[in-house]
Structure 1
Amino acid sequence: MTDHERLLSGRTAVVTGGARGLGKAIAKELAARGVNVALLGLEEDALARTATELPTVSRSWPVDITDDDAMVHAAEDVHRLMGPVSIVVANAGVAEAGPFLDSDPASWRRVIEVNLIGSAVTARSFLPQLLDTRGHYLQIASIASIGAVPMMSAYCASKAGVESFANSLRAETAPCGVSVGIAYVNWIDTDMIRDADRYTVMRKLRSHMPQPARAVSSVEHMAHRVVTSVERRASSVYAPGWLRSSQLVRGVLPGVITQVARRKLTHSRYTATGLLGAGGRAARRATVRNGGRTADPR
Protein backbone atom coordinates (compact mmCIF):
# COMPACT_ATOMS: atom_id res chain seq x y z
CA MET A 1 0.00 0.00 0.00
CA THR A 2 1.38 3.41 -0.97
CA ASP A 3 1.75 6.33 1.42
CA HIS A 4 -1.12 8.07 -0.37
CA GLU A 5 -3.43 5.10 0.18
CA ARG A 6 -2.47 4.80 3.84
CA LEU A 7 -3.33 8.43 4.48
CA LEU A 8 -6.79 8.53 2.91
CA SER A 9 -7.89 4.96 2.15
CA GLY A 10 -11.31 4.04 3.51
CA ARG A 11 -12.34 7.57 4.42
CA THR A 12 -15.49 9.24 3.12
CA ALA A 13 -15.32 12.55 1.27
CA VAL A 14 -17.98 14.96 0.02
CA VAL A 15 -17.32 16.89 -3.18
CA THR A 16 -19.80 19.54 -4.29
CA GLY A 17 -20.09 20.36 -7.98
CA GLY A 18 -18.80 16.89 -8.76
CA ALA A 19 -20.60 16.40 -12.07
CA ARG A 20 -17.88 17.88 -14.24
CA GLY A 21 -14.71 19.96 -14.38
CA LEU A 22 -12.52 20.34 -11.34
CA GLY A 23 -15.03 18.68 -9.00
CA LYS A 24 -15.12 15.53 -11.11
CA ALA A 25 -11.31 15.47 -11.36
CA ILE A 26 -11.00 15.89 -7.57
CA ALA A 27 -13.45 13.02 -7.03
CA LYS A 28 -11.39 10.79 -9.35
CA GLU A 29 -8.14 11.73 -7.59
CA LEU A 30 -9.65 11.04 -4.17
CA ALA A 31 -11.02 7.68 -5.32
CA ALA A 32 -7.64 6.75 -6.80
CA ARG A 33 -6.23 7.19 -3.30
CA GLY A 34 -8.84 4.89 -1.76
CA VAL A 35 -11.46 7.44 -0.70
CA ASN A 36 -15.19 6.75 -0.91
CA VAL A 37 -16.83 9.78 -2.50
CA ALA A 38 -20.25 11.40 -2.12
CA LEU A 39 -20.96 13.68 -5.07
CA LEU A 40 -23.37 16.60 -4.61
CA GLY A 41 -24.72 18.98 -7.22
CA LEU A 42 -27.55 19.94 -9.52
CA GLU A 43 -26.84 17.75 -12.55
CA GLU A 44 -28.38 14.43 -11.56
CA ASP A 45 -27.45 12.34 -14.61
CA ALA A 46 -23.88 13.65 -14.85
CA LEU A 47 -23.34 13.10 -11.12
CA ALA A 48 -24.58 9.53 -11.37
CA ARG A 49 -22.28 8.83 -14.32
CA THR A 50 -19.29 10.19 -12.43
CA ALA A 51 -20.13 8.02 -9.42
CA THR A 52 -20.18 4.88 -11.59
CA GLU A 53 -16.74 5.73 -12.99
CA LEU A 54 -15.05 5.81 -9.58
CA PRO A 55 -13.26 2.68 -8.32
CA THR A 56 -14.37 3.10 -4.70
CA VAL A 57 -17.80 3.10 -3.07
CA SER A 58 -19.33 6.28 -4.44
CA ARG A 59 -22.83 7.74 -4.57
CA SER A 60 -24.45 10.89 -5.89
CA TRP A 61 -27.01 13.28 -4.44
CA PRO A 62 -28.80 15.75 -6.74
CA VAL A 63 -29.21 18.78 -4.51
CA ASP A 64 -29.03 22.56 -4.64
CA ILE A 65 -26.23 23.44 -2.23
CA THR A 66 -27.92 26.75 -1.39
CA ASP A 67 -30.98 24.93 0.01
CA ASP A 68 -30.40 24.55 3.76
CA ASP A 69 -33.03 21.87 4.37
CA ALA A 70 -32.08 19.79 1.35
CA MET A 71 -28.42 19.87 2.34
CA VAL A 72 -29.18 18.77 5.90
CA HIS A 73 -31.11 15.79 4.50
CA ALA A 74 -28.28 15.01 2.07
CA ALA A 75 -25.76 15.09 4.93
CA GLU A 76 -27.91 12.68 6.92
CA ASP A 77 -28.18 10.35 3.92
CA VAL A 78 -24.44 10.40 3.31
CA HIS A 79 -23.77 9.49 6.93
CA ARG A 80 -26.36 6.70 6.90
CA LEU A 81 -25.25 5.14 3.61
CA MET A 82 -21.51 5.87 3.56
CA GLY A 83 -20.50 6.52 7.15
CA PRO A 84 -19.17 9.67 8.81
CA VAL A 85 -17.52 12.21 6.54
CA SER A 86 -13.83 13.01 7.04
CA ILE A 87 -13.27 15.32 4.06
CA VAL A 88 -15.44 18.04 2.52
CA VAL A 89 -14.39 19.80 -0.68
CA ALA A 90 -16.55 22.89 -1.28
CA ASN A 91 -15.96 23.12 -5.01
CA ALA A 92 -19.31 24.03 -6.57
CA GLY A 93 -19.22 27.41 -8.26
CA VAL A 94 -20.55 29.46 -11.15
CA ALA A 95 -19.43 32.62 -12.91
CA GLU A 96 -20.63 35.41 -15.15
CA ALA A 97 -18.83 38.35 -16.74
CA GLY A 98 -19.57 41.77 -18.15
CA PRO A 99 -20.29 45.30 -16.90
CA PHE A 100 -21.95 45.33 -13.50
CA LEU A 101 -24.59 47.84 -14.59
CA ASP A 102 -25.67 45.64 -17.50
CA SER A 103 -25.65 42.37 -15.58
CA ASP A 104 -28.88 40.50 -14.92
CA PRO A 105 -29.59 41.00 -11.20
CA ALA A 106 -30.80 37.41 -10.88
CA SER A 107 -27.62 35.99 -12.46
CA TRP A 108 -25.41 38.27 -10.37
CA ARG A 109 -27.19 37.20 -7.20
CA ARG A 110 -27.03 33.53 -8.18
CA VAL A 111 -23.23 33.68 -8.37
CA ILE A 112 -23.11 34.94 -4.79
CA GLU A 113 -25.68 32.37 -3.67
CA VAL A 114 -23.88 29.38 -5.16
CA ASN A 115 -20.27 30.37 -4.54
CA LEU A 116 -20.49 32.00 -1.11
CA ILE A 117 -23.76 31.03 0.54
CA GLY A 118 -23.60 27.53 -0.94
CA SER A 119 -20.15 27.02 0.57
CA ALA A 120 -21.41 28.17 3.97
CA VAL A 121 -24.44 25.87 3.74
CA THR A 122 -22.14 22.99 2.81
CA ALA A 123 -19.94 23.67 5.84
CA ARG A 124 -22.92 24.03 8.17
CA SER A 125 -24.44 20.76 6.95
CA PHE A 126 -21.32 18.60 7.25
CA LEU A 127 -19.39 20.27 10.07
CA PRO A 128 -21.01 18.10 12.77
CA GLN A 129 -19.54 15.04 11.04
CA LEU A 130 -16.15 16.69 10.58
CA LEU A 131 -16.11 17.49 14.29
CA ASP A 132 -16.68 13.81 15.07
CA THR A 133 -13.97 12.63 12.67
CA ARG A 134 -11.59 15.56 13.29
CA GLY A 135 -11.69 15.97 9.54
CA HIS A 136 -10.66 18.49 6.90
CA TYR A 137 -12.72 21.10 5.05
CA LEU A 138 -11.27 22.45 1.81
CA GLN A 139 -12.63 25.60 0.21
CA ILE A 140 -11.98 26.08 -3.50
CA ALA A 141 -11.13 29.75 -3.93
CA SER A 142 -9.45 31.54 -6.82
CA ILE A 143 -6.85 34.04 -7.92
CA ALA A 144 -9.90 36.36 -7.81
CA SER A 145 -9.82 36.00 -4.01
CA ILE A 146 -6.47 37.81 -4.03
CA GLY A 147 -6.98 40.40 -6.77
CA ALA A 148 -10.37 41.53 -8.04
CA VAL A 149 -10.63 42.34 -11.74
CA PRO A 150 -13.18 44.42 -13.66
CA MET A 151 -16.10 42.80 -15.44
CA MET A 152 -16.35 39.95 -12.92
CA SER A 153 -17.76 41.72 -9.87
CA ALA A 154 -20.02 38.90 -8.64
CA TYR A 155 -17.39 36.20 -9.04
CA CYS A 156 -14.65 38.27 -7.39
CA ALA A 157 -16.92 39.25 -4.51
CA SER A 158 -17.96 35.65 -3.94
CA LYS A 159 -14.39 34.32 -4.03
CA ALA A 160 -13.12 37.02 -1.69
CA GLY A 161 -16.02 36.06 0.55
CA VAL A 162 -15.21 32.34 0.63
CA GLU A 163 -11.58 33.11 1.43
CA SER A 164 -12.60 35.19 4.45
CA PHE A 165 -15.19 32.60 5.45
CA ALA A 166 -12.62 29.79 5.35
CA ASN A 167 -10.04 31.79 7.31
CA SER A 168 -12.62 32.56 9.98
CA LEU A 169 -13.83 28.95 10.09
CA ARG A 170 -10.25 27.67 10.42
CA ALA A 171 -9.64 29.69 13.56
CA GLU A 172 -13.00 28.67 14.98
CA THR A 173 -12.62 24.92 14.45
CA ALA A 174 -8.89 24.56 15.16
CA PRO A 175 -9.43 23.90 18.90
CA CYS A 176 -11.79 21.07 17.93
CA GLY A 177 -9.29 19.32 15.67
CA VAL A 178 -10.94 20.24 12.35
CA SER A 179 -8.55 21.70 9.79
CA VAL A 180 -9.61 24.11 7.06
CA GLY A 181 -7.76 24.72 3.82
CA ILE A 182 -8.10 27.15 0.92
CA ALA A 183 -7.22 26.24 -2.66
CA TYR A 184 -6.21 29.25 -4.74
CA VAL A 185 -6.56 28.22 -8.37
CA ASN A 186 -6.13 30.01 -11.70
CA TRP A 187 -7.69 29.31 -15.12
CA ILE A 188 -8.61 25.64 -15.53
CA ASP A 189 -9.56 23.76 -18.71
CA THR A 190 -13.25 23.28 -17.93
CA ASP A 191 -16.41 23.78 -19.93
CA MET A 192 -17.03 27.00 -17.97
CA ILE A 193 -13.73 28.49 -19.15
CA ARG A 194 -14.21 27.20 -22.70
CA ASP A 195 -17.65 28.80 -22.74
CA ALA A 196 -16.17 32.04 -21.38
CA ASP A 197 -13.69 32.20 -24.25
CA ARG A 198 -16.60 32.66 -26.66
CA TYR A 199 -17.22 36.13 -25.22
CA THR A 200 -15.15 39.18 -26.14
CA VAL A 201 -15.16 40.45 -22.57
CA MET A 202 -13.50 37.28 -21.28
CA ARG A 203 -10.96 37.06 -24.09
CA LYS A 204 -9.98 40.70 -23.50
CA LEU A 205 -9.79 40.17 -19.76
CA ARG A 206 -7.34 37.31 -20.14
CA SER A 207 -5.32 39.06 -22.83
CA HIS A 208 -4.51 41.95 -20.48
CA MET A 209 -3.18 39.66 -17.75
CA PRO A 210 0.55 38.93 -17.35
CA GLN A 211 1.64 35.86 -19.30
CA PRO A 212 1.69 33.38 -16.38
CA ALA A 213 -1.80 34.46 -15.34
CA ARG A 214 -3.21 33.69 -18.80
CA ALA A 215 -2.16 30.04 -18.77
CA VAL A 216 -4.82 27.36 -18.53
CA SER A 217 -4.04 24.25 -16.47
CA SER A 218 -5.54 20.77 -16.83
CA VAL A 219 -8.13 19.61 -14.31
CA GLU A 220 -5.99 16.55 -13.60
CA HIS A 221 -2.99 18.67 -12.56
CA MET A 222 -5.16 20.91 -10.39
CA ALA A 223 -6.91 17.94 -8.78
CA HIS A 224 -3.60 16.30 -7.92
CA ARG A 225 -2.39 19.47 -6.19
CA VAL A 226 -5.68 19.92 -4.36
CA VAL A 227 -5.95 16.35 -3.06
CA THR A 228 -2.31 16.34 -1.97
CA SER A 229 -3.12 19.40 0.13
CA VAL A 230 -5.98 17.46 1.71
CA GLU A 231 -3.58 14.65 2.64
CA ARG A 232 -1.32 17.19 4.31
CA ARG A 233 -4.24 19.03 5.94
CA ALA A 234 -2.62 22.15 4.52
CA SER A 235 -4.07 25.56 5.32
CA SER A 236 -3.52 26.64 1.70
CA VAL A 237 -2.54 25.35 -1.70
CA TYR A 238 -1.66 27.46 -4.74
CA ALA A 239 -2.14 26.02 -8.20
CA PRO A 240 -0.07 26.95 -10.09
CA GLY A 241 2.57 27.53 -7.43
CA TRP A 242 3.50 31.04 -8.57
CA LEU A 243 0.15 32.27 -7.23
CA ARG A 244 1.64 32.20 -3.74
CA SER A 245 3.85 35.18 -4.64
CA SER A 246 0.77 37.25 -5.49
CA GLN A 247 0.00 37.41 -1.78
CA LEU A 248 3.15 39.52 -1.35
CA VAL A 249 1.83 42.27 -3.63
CA ARG A 250 -1.80 41.99 -2.66
CA GLY A 251 -1.97 45.48 -1.23
CA VAL A 252 -0.94 47.18 -4.47
CA LEU A 253 -3.00 45.04 -6.86
CA PRO A 254 -6.19 47.18 -6.79
CA GLY A 255 -4.27 50.25 -7.93
CA VAL A 256 -2.36 48.39 -10.63
CA ILE A 257 -5.51 46.73 -11.95
CA THR A 258 -7.35 50.06 -12.00
CA GLN A 259 -4.55 51.70 -13.99
CA VAL A 260 -4.55 48.87 -16.55
CA ALA A 261 -8.34 49.02 -16.81
CA ARG A 262 -8.26 52.77 -17.33
CA ARG A 263 -5.96 52.34 -20.33
CA LYS A 264 -7.46 49.20 -21.83
CA LEU A 265 -11.20 49.30 -21.17
CA THR A 266 -12.17 52.96 -21.59
CA HIS A 267 -13.07 52.80 -25.28
CA SER A 268 -14.56 49.32 -25.33
CA ARG A 269 -18.13 48.22 -24.83
CA TYR A 270 -18.85 44.74 -23.56
CA THR A 271 -22.05 42.85 -22.87
CA ALA A 272 -22.90 40.62 -19.94
CA THR A 273 -22.43 36.89 -20.49
CA GLY A 274 -24.94 35.49 -18.03
CA LEU A 275 -24.02 32.34 -16.13
CA LEU A 276 -21.32 30.41 -17.95
CA GLY A 277 -21.02 26.75 -18.90
CA ALA A 278 -23.23 23.73 -18.30
CA GLY A 279 -22.96 24.21 -14.54
CA GLY A 280 -24.11 27.79 -14.95
CA ARG A 281 -27.09 26.71 -17.01
CA ALA A 282 -28.04 24.19 -14.32
CA ALA A 283 -27.75 26.88 -11.64
CA ARG A 284 -29.89 29.24 -13.70
CA ARG A 285 -32.64 26.63 -14.01
CA ALA A 286 -32.69 25.86 -10.32
CA THR A 287 -33.59 28.72 -8.01
CA VAL A 288 -34.44 28.49 -4.34
CA ARG A 289 -37.37 30.38 -2.95
CA ASN A 290 -38.66 29.93 0.59
CA GLY A 291 -36.78 26.69 1.01
CA GLY A 292 -38.27 25.12 -2.11
CA ARG A 293 -36.74 24.47 -5.48
CA THR A 294 -38.53 25.95 -8.47
CA ALA A 295 -37.81 25.88 -12.16
CA ASP A 296 -36.53 29.01 -13.84
CA PRO A 297 -38.11 29.02 -17.33
CA ARG A 298 -35.15 30.75 -18.99
Structure 2
Amino acid sequence: MAKYTLRNKTVLITGAAGGIGAASARALHARGANTVLVGRNLESIEALARDMGGDRLLSMSADVTDRTALEDAVARTVDRFGALDVVFANAGIAPAPPATIATIDPDAFERIVEVDLLGVWRTVRAALPQIIASRGHVLVTSSTYAFVNGAVNAPYAAAKAAVEQFARALRVELRIHHATAGVLYPGWVDTAMVRNVFDGDDILTRMREVAFPASLAQTIAPKAVAGRVVTGIERRSARITVPRRWQPISALSGIINPLTDAWLLRHRPFLALLRELETATTR
Protein backbone atom coordinates (compact mmCIF):
# COMPACT_ATOMS: atom_id res chain seq x y z
CA MET A 1 0.00 0.00 0.00
CA ALA A 2 1.30 3.45 -0.90
CA LYS A 3 2.61 5.66 1.90
CA TYR A 4 -0.13 7.69 3.58
CA THR A 5 1.09 11.28 3.63
CA LEU A 6 0.24 13.09 6.86
CA ARG A 7 0.94 16.61 5.65
CA ASN A 8 -2.31 18.60 5.61
CA LYS A 9 -4.25 15.63 6.96
CA THR A 10 -6.34 16.14 10.10
CA VAL A 11 -5.72 13.84 13.07
CA LEU A 12 -7.88 13.68 16.21
CA ILE A 13 -6.25 12.20 19.32
CA THR A 14 -8.05 11.30 22.54
CA GLY A 15 -6.07 11.09 25.75
CA ALA A 16 -3.89 13.74 24.14
CA ALA A 17 -2.48 15.14 27.39
CA GLY A 18 -1.09 11.78 28.51
CA GLY A 19 2.39 10.46 27.82
CA ILE A 20 1.74 8.57 24.59
CA GLY A 21 -0.94 11.02 23.45
CA ALA A 22 1.15 14.16 23.96
CA ALA A 23 4.27 12.66 22.38
CA SER A 24 2.26 11.40 19.41
CA ALA A 25 0.53 14.77 18.99
CA ARG A 26 3.92 16.49 18.78
CA ALA A 27 5.24 13.94 16.29
CA LEU A 28 2.17 14.07 14.06
CA HIS A 29 2.08 17.86 14.14
CA ALA A 30 5.77 17.96 13.19
CA ARG A 31 4.88 15.76 10.21
CA GLY A 32 2.53 18.48 8.94
CA ALA A 33 -0.80 17.18 10.23
CA ASN A 34 -3.58 19.36 11.56
CA THR A 35 -3.75 18.07 15.11
CA VAL A 36 -6.86 17.95 17.28
CA LEU A 37 -6.11 17.46 20.97
CA VAL A 38 -8.93 15.91 23.00
CA GLY A 39 -8.85 15.14 26.71
CA ARG A 40 -10.85 15.45 29.89
CA ASN A 41 -8.67 18.15 31.43
CA LEU A 42 -8.96 21.22 29.21
CA GLU A 43 -6.23 23.06 31.11
CA SER A 44 -3.71 20.30 30.35
CA ILE A 45 -4.80 20.09 26.72
CA GLU A 46 -4.52 23.84 26.21
CA ALA A 47 -1.10 23.90 27.91
CA LEU A 48 0.10 21.25 25.46
CA ALA A 49 -1.29 23.24 22.52
CA ARG A 50 0.48 26.40 23.69
CA ASP A 51 3.72 24.52 24.07
CA MET A 52 3.41 22.98 20.61
CA GLY A 53 2.48 26.30 18.98
CA GLY A 54 1.28 26.93 15.45
CA ASP A 55 -2.08 27.42 13.81
CA ARG A 56 -2.74 23.80 12.85
CA LEU A 57 -4.02 22.94 16.32
CA LEU A 58 -7.42 22.59 17.92
CA SER A 59 -7.82 21.68 21.59
CA MET A 60 -11.02 20.73 23.36
CA SER A 61 -12.32 18.92 26.41
CA ALA A 62 -14.33 15.72 25.97
CA ASP A 63 -14.82 12.60 28.04
CA VAL A 64 -14.73 9.39 26.00
CA THR A 65 -17.63 8.05 28.06
CA ASP A 66 -19.80 10.83 26.62
CA ARG A 67 -20.98 9.99 23.09
CA THR A 68 -22.49 13.43 22.52
CA ALA A 69 -19.26 15.18 23.49
CA LEU A 70 -17.29 13.04 21.05
CA GLU A 71 -19.75 13.71 18.24
CA ASP A 72 -19.39 17.41 18.99
CA ALA A 73 -15.59 17.09 18.92
CA VAL A 74 -15.76 15.56 15.46
CA ALA A 75 -18.17 18.26 14.25
CA ARG A 76 -15.90 21.02 15.57
CA THR A 77 -12.91 19.36 13.89
CA VAL A 78 -14.63 19.26 10.51
CA ASP A 79 -15.86 22.81 10.94
CA ARG A 80 -12.30 24.00 11.62
CA PHE A 81 -10.29 21.91 9.15
CA GLY A 82 -12.87 20.71 6.62
CA ALA A 83 -12.32 17.00 7.18
CA LEU A 84 -11.16 14.33 9.62
CA ASP A 85 -8.67 11.88 8.14
CA VAL A 86 -7.22 9.97 11.11
CA VAL A 87 -8.63 9.19 14.55
CA PHE A 88 -6.31 7.91 17.27
CA ALA A 89 -8.45 6.44 20.07
CA ASN A 90 -5.82 6.55 22.77
CA ALA A 91 -7.59 7.52 26.02
CA GLY A 92 -7.22 4.91 28.73
CA ILE A 93 -6.94 4.29 32.46
CA ALA A 94 -5.61 1.44 34.60
CA PRO A 95 -6.41 0.09 38.07
CA ALA A 96 -4.83 2.27 40.73
CA PRO A 97 -3.90 0.42 42.73
CA PRO A 98 -4.09 -2.91 40.90
CA ALA A 99 -6.04 -5.62 42.68
CA THR A 100 -7.28 -9.14 42.13
CA ILE A 101 -10.72 -9.75 40.69
CA ALA A 102 -11.87 -10.88 44.15
CA THR A 103 -10.84 -7.63 45.83
CA ILE A 104 -11.11 -4.84 43.24
CA ASP A 105 -13.84 -2.27 43.74
CA PRO A 106 -16.63 -3.26 41.31
CA ASP A 107 -17.14 0.36 40.28
CA ALA A 108 -13.42 0.70 39.51
CA PHE A 109 -13.51 -2.46 37.38
CA GLU A 110 -16.46 -1.21 35.37
CA ARG A 111 -15.03 2.30 35.02
CA ILE A 112 -11.86 0.89 33.42
CA VAL A 113 -13.87 -1.15 30.92
CA GLU A 114 -16.10 1.88 30.28
CA VAL A 115 -13.13 4.08 29.38
CA ASP A 116 -10.71 1.60 27.80
CA LEU A 117 -13.20 -0.36 25.69
CA LEU A 118 -16.44 1.58 25.32
CA GLY A 119 -14.52 4.85 25.13
CA VAL A 120 -12.67 3.50 22.10
CA TRP A 121 -15.95 2.34 20.55
CA ARG A 122 -17.59 5.73 21.08
CA THR A 123 -14.58 7.63 19.73
CA VAL A 124 -14.30 5.52 16.61
CA ARG A 125 -18.03 5.44 15.94
CA ALA A 126 -18.26 9.23 16.18
CA ALA A 127 -15.38 9.66 13.73
CA LEU A 128 -16.16 6.81 11.35
CA PRO A 129 -18.34 8.62 8.79
CA GLN A 130 -15.56 11.16 8.29
CA ILE A 131 -12.86 8.47 8.15
CA ILE A 132 -14.81 6.60 5.49
CA ALA A 133 -15.43 9.78 3.51
CA SER A 134 -11.74 10.66 3.51
CA ARG A 135 -10.53 7.07 3.04
CA GLY A 136 -8.52 7.62 6.18
CA HIS A 137 -7.16 5.56 9.05
CA VAL A 138 -8.22 4.51 12.56
CA LEU A 139 -5.64 3.71 15.24
CA VAL A 140 -6.61 2.33 18.65
CA THR A 141 -4.37 1.87 21.65
CA SER A 142 -4.40 -1.67 22.98
CA SER A 143 -1.50 -3.05 25.04
CA THR A 144 0.83 -6.02 25.32
CA TYR A 145 -1.70 -7.04 27.97
CA ALA A 146 -3.90 -8.05 25.03
CA PHE A 147 -1.74 -11.18 24.76
CA VAL A 148 -0.13 -11.69 28.19
CA ASN A 149 -1.72 -12.82 31.46
CA GLY A 150 -3.49 -9.93 33.16
CA ALA A 151 -3.30 -11.12 36.77
CA VAL A 152 -3.99 -8.17 39.15
CA ASN A 153 -4.80 -6.08 36.06
CA ALA A 154 -7.81 -7.98 34.76
CA PRO A 155 -10.16 -5.12 33.73
CA TYR A 156 -7.36 -3.38 31.84
CA ALA A 157 -6.20 -6.58 30.13
CA ALA A 158 -9.76 -7.60 29.25
CA ALA A 159 -10.53 -4.19 27.75
CA LYS A 160 -7.29 -4.08 25.77
CA ALA A 161 -7.86 -7.59 24.38
CA ALA A 162 -11.37 -6.55 23.35
CA VAL A 163 -10.03 -3.38 21.72
CA GLU A 164 -7.67 -5.52 19.65
CA GLN A 165 -10.56 -7.64 18.37
CA PHE A 166 -12.63 -4.52 17.69
CA ALA A 167 -9.91 -3.03 15.50
CA ARG A 168 -9.20 -6.29 13.68
CA ALA A 169 -12.84 -6.54 12.68
CA LEU A 170 -12.91 -2.87 11.75
CA ARG A 171 -9.89 -3.20 9.47
CA VAL A 172 -11.66 -5.87 7.43
CA GLU A 173 -14.94 -3.94 7.34
CA LEU A 174 -13.22 -0.75 6.21
CA ARG A 175 -11.66 -2.51 3.24
CA ILE A 176 -14.82 -1.97 1.17
CA HIS A 177 -14.51 1.77 1.86
CA HIS A 178 -10.79 1.96 1.01
CA ALA A 179 -10.02 3.04 4.59
CA THR A 180 -7.88 1.23 7.17
CA ALA A 181 -7.51 0.51 10.88
CA GLY A 182 -4.65 -0.56 13.10
CA VAL A 183 -3.77 -1.49 16.67
CA LEU A 184 -1.02 -0.05 18.86
CA TYR A 185 0.46 -2.47 21.40
CA PRO A 186 2.73 -0.54 23.81
CA GLY A 187 4.74 -2.40 26.41
CA TRP A 188 5.77 -0.67 29.63
CA VAL A 189 5.94 3.04 28.82
CA ASP A 190 7.31 5.69 31.17
CA THR A 191 4.01 7.52 31.65
CA ALA A 192 2.19 8.91 34.65
CA MET A 193 -0.24 5.98 34.50
CA VAL A 194 2.56 3.41 34.81
CA ARG A 195 4.38 5.42 37.47
CA ASN A 196 1.19 5.74 39.51
CA VAL A 197 0.92 1.96 39.57
CA PHE A 198 4.50 1.04 40.45
CA ASP A 199 6.15 3.99 42.19
CA GLY A 200 6.44 3.24 45.87
CA ASP A 201 4.63 -0.11 45.64
CA ASP A 202 7.19 -2.77 46.46
CA ILE A 203 4.82 -5.70 45.98
CA LEU A 204 3.81 -4.71 42.45
CA THR A 205 7.38 -3.93 41.47
CA ARG A 206 8.53 -7.34 42.65
CA MET A 207 5.62 -9.02 40.86
CA ARG A 208 6.65 -7.42 37.59
CA GLU A 209 10.26 -8.43 38.13
CA VAL A 210 9.23 -12.02 38.85
CA ALA A 211 6.69 -12.35 36.02
CA PHE A 212 8.61 -10.65 33.19
CA PRO A 213 12.19 -10.99 31.94
CA ALA A 214 14.25 -7.85 32.51
CA SER A 215 14.28 -7.08 28.77
CA LEU A 216 10.46 -6.92 28.73
CA ALA A 217 10.01 -5.19 32.10
CA GLN A 218 12.07 -2.17 31.03
CA THR A 219 10.11 1.00 30.40
CA ILE A 220 10.51 2.99 27.20
CA ALA A 221 10.01 6.69 26.52
CA PRO A 222 6.69 7.95 25.12
CA LYS A 223 8.69 9.59 22.33
CA ALA A 224 9.79 6.14 21.12
CA VAL A 225 6.15 5.05 20.92
CA ALA A 226 5.20 8.27 19.11
CA GLY A 227 7.79 7.65 16.40
CA ARG A 228 6.30 4.26 15.70
CA VAL A 229 2.77 5.72 15.77
CA VAL A 230 3.70 8.13 12.98
CA THR A 231 5.34 5.50 10.77
CA GLY A 232 2.53 3.05 11.51
CA ILE A 233 -0.12 5.49 10.33
CA GLU A 234 1.93 6.41 7.28
CA ARG A 235 2.16 2.72 6.39
CA ARG A 236 -1.47 2.05 7.38
CA SER A 237 -0.05 -0.75 9.54
CA ALA A 238 -2.40 -3.31 11.02
CA ARG A 239 -0.15 -3.74 14.08
CA ILE A 240 2.35 -1.48 15.85
CA THR A 241 4.17 -3.26 18.67
CA VAL A 242 6.50 -1.12 20.79
CA PRO A 243 9.16 -2.15 21.64
CA ARG A 244 9.61 -4.71 18.91
CA ARG A 245 10.96 -7.33 21.32
CA TRP A 246 7.33 -8.08 22.20
CA GLN A 247 6.53 -9.13 18.62
CA PRO A 248 7.57 -12.81 18.91
CA ILE A 249 5.42 -13.18 22.03
CA SER A 250 2.45 -11.72 20.22
CA ALA A 251 3.03 -13.87 17.14
CA LEU A 252 3.36 -17.05 19.21
CA SER A 253 0.74 -16.21 21.81
CA GLY A 254 -1.30 -19.31 21.04
CA ILE A 255 1.66 -21.40 22.17
CA ILE A 256 3.21 -19.10 24.77
CA ASN A 257 0.03 -18.16 26.65
CA PRO A 258 -0.82 -21.67 27.92
CA LEU A 259 2.82 -22.17 28.91
CA THR A 260 3.10 -18.90 30.81
CA ASP A 261 -0.28 -19.45 32.51
CA ALA A 262 0.89 -22.88 33.68
CA TRP A 263 4.22 -21.39 34.79
CA LEU A 264 2.52 -18.68 36.87
CA LEU A 265 0.24 -21.27 38.48
CA ARG A 266 3.33 -23.12 39.73
CA HIS A 267 5.58 -20.14 40.47
CA ARG A 268 5.73 -19.99 44.28
CA PRO A 269 7.39 -16.55 44.60
CA PHE A 270 4.77 -14.99 42.30
CA LEU A 271 1.90 -16.69 44.11
CA ALA A 272 3.29 -15.56 47.47
CA LEU A 273 3.38 -11.97 46.23
CA LEU A 274 -0.14 -12.36 44.85
CA ARG A 275 -1.37 -13.49 48.27
CA GLU A 276 0.50 -10.61 49.92
CA LEU A 277 -1.12 -8.09 47.54
CA GLU A 278 -4.61 -9.49 48.07
CA THR A 279 -4.16 -9.47 51.84
CA ALA A 280 -2.96 -5.87 51.76
CA THR A 281 -5.93 -4.87 49.59
CA THR A 282 -8.50 -6.31 52.00
CA ARG A 283 -7.08 -4.69 55.13
Match of 1:265 among 264, 270, 273: 270
Contact 1:149 1:257 in 2 (8 A): no
Residue 77 (structure 1) shift: 1.1
What's the CA shift string for 1:240-293, capped at 9, x where partnerless? 11221112321233333333433233333215999xxxxxxxxxxxxxxxxxxx
| TM-score, L = length of structure 2 | 0.90
What's the CA shift string for 1:89-147, capped at 9, x where partnerless? 11111001121111111111111011100000001000011011100001111110112
Partners of 2:41 and 2:102 in 1: CA distance:
30
Match of 1:224 among 217, 222, 227: 227
Residue 201 (structure 1) shift: 4.1
- Pick which of 220-229 and 46-55 moved more: 46-55
Partners of 2:198 and 2:244 in 1: CA distance:
24
Give 5+ residue unaligned stretches, structure 2.
Answer: none
The one-letter amino acid paired with 2:145 is A
Residue 16 (structure 1) shift: 0.5
- For the structure 1 residues 82 and 202, does the alpha-carbon distance in structure 2 shift closer, same or farther, using more than 3 Å as the test? farther
Partners of 1:147 and 1:273 in 2: CA distance:
24
TM superposition outliers: structure 1 runs of 4+ over 3 Å: 271-274
The one-letter amino acid paired with 1:19 is A
In the alignment, what sits opposite 2:162? 161
What's the CA shift string for 1:200-244, capped at 9, x where partnerless? 343123202012211111111110011111011111111111221
Give 5+ residue unaligned stretches, structure 1.
Answer: 275-298
Contact 2:207 2:270 in 1 (8 A): no
Question: Alpha carbon RMSD of aligned pairs, Å?
Answer: 1.9
Partners of 1:84 and 1:272 in 2: CA distance:
53
> Between Structure 1 and Structure 2, how many residues are aligned?
270
The one-letter amino acid paired with 2:66 is D
In the alignment, what sits opposite 1:27? 25
Q: Helix, strand or coil for the counterpart of 1:151?
A: coil
In the alignment, what sits opposite 2:207? 205
In the alignment, what sits opposite 2:188? 187
Partners of 2:234 and 2:75 in 1: CA distance:
25
What's the CA shift string for 1:121-178, capped at 9, x where partnerless? 0010000110111000011111101122311100100000000000011111111011
Partners of 2:15 and 2:207 in 1: CA distance:
25
Partners of 1:36 and 1:144 in 2: CA distance:
31
- For the structure 1 residues 7 and 244, does the alpha-carbon distance in structure 2 shift closer, same or farther, using more than 3 Å as the test? same
Q: Percent identity?
A: 29
- For the structure 1 residues 177 and 249, does the alpha-carbon distance in structure 2 shift closer, same or farther, using more than 3 Å as the test? same
Are residues 1:116 and 2:117 paired? yes
Q: Helix, strand or coil for the counterpart of 2:272?
A: coil
